[in-house]
């Protein structure tokens, strides 16, 4: 199977955790629906269509953390629409703006692995990435978090059987066999529950527990459904 590999990075990123509202927290890496939105922006697929065009039965996605995960809090001034209107000045008990504390990722960088069954579409996305010609602006979670990207290559990937190996990508827990992770000194292991799949109505179809190493190092584990690219092992969402 051919895999398109590219890197995406920026000064800031925010991938909102679904259970946080007034003080939004961020996932440490972009969930699968977010990556589909990013690829849709490069290809020029509208926001109403990209989740259908890039549905999980047509494409495969994996993500690798390249820069260490760094999070910070920043106060953002938002327009106050609590009373269903906005005025630029304070009026009685209605402030013009409201401030929220938002958790952001600093200097995030990720490697994306992507395959699509539609060969024409797949090749067109490859050409756009090679020539750095995205149709819509690329961002990391929010429109304010402008991102850049670079083409890495197109490589053959081969599925392996059950194997204990070093996984470079983030690791969905469902592929870990016998709960076997080899915890090594000098590595920081975390787990987050992310939306793994979403339909075109933006209804989450599947959530997944995903294990990752905060500095982007590999995770040694006994896994099923891994894929090898040269000497690197990854697991798709």
Distance CA 75, CA 17 (A): 17
pLDDT given at position 230 = 87
Distance CA 82, CA 85 (A): 7
Helices 32-43 + 119-131 axis angle, to 10: 80
Q: Model's pTM, two decimal places?
A: 0.91
Q: d(Cα 152, Cα 103) in Å, to the nearest integer?
A: 29
pLDDT tens for the chain, 237 residues long, are 999 999 999 999 999 998 887 789 999 999 999 999 999 999 999 888 999 999 999 999 999 999 999 999 998 888 777 767 666 667 677 677 778 899 999 999 999 999 999 999 999 999 999 999 999 999 999 988 999 999 999 999 999 989 999 999 999 999 999 999 999 999 999 999 999 988 888 899 999 999 999 999 999 999 999 999 988 999 999
């Amino acid at each position: 199977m051919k895999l398109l590999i590219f890197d995406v990075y920026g000064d800031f990123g925010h991938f909102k955790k679904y259970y946080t509202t007034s003080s939004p927290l961020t996932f440490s890496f972009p969930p699968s629906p977010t990556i589909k939105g990013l690829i849709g922006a490069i290809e020029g697929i509208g926001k109403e269509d990209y989740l259908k065009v890039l549905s999980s039965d047509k494409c495969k996605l994996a993500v690798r953390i390249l820069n260490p995960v760094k999070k910070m809090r920043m106060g953002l001034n938002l327009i106050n629409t609590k009373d269903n209107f906005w005025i630029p000045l304070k009026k009685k008990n209605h402030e013009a703006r409201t401030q929220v504390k938002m958790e952001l990722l600093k200097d995030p960088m990720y490697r994306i692995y992507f395959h699509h069954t539609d060969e024409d579409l797949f090749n067109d996305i490859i050409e756009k990435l090679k020539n750095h010609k995205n149709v819509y602006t690329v961002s990391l979670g929010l429109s304010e978090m402008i991102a850049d990207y670079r083409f890495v290559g197109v490589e053959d990937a081969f599925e392996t059987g059950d194997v204990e190996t070093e996984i470079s990508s983030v690791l969905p827990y469902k592929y870990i066999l016998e709960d076997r992770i080899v915890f090594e000194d000098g590595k920081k292991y975390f787990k987050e529950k992310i939306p793994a799949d979403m339909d075109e109505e933006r209804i989450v179809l599947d959530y997944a527990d995903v294990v990752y190493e905060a500095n982007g190092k590999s995770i040694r584990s006994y896994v099923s459904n891994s894929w090898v690219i040269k000497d690197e092992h990854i697991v798709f969402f």
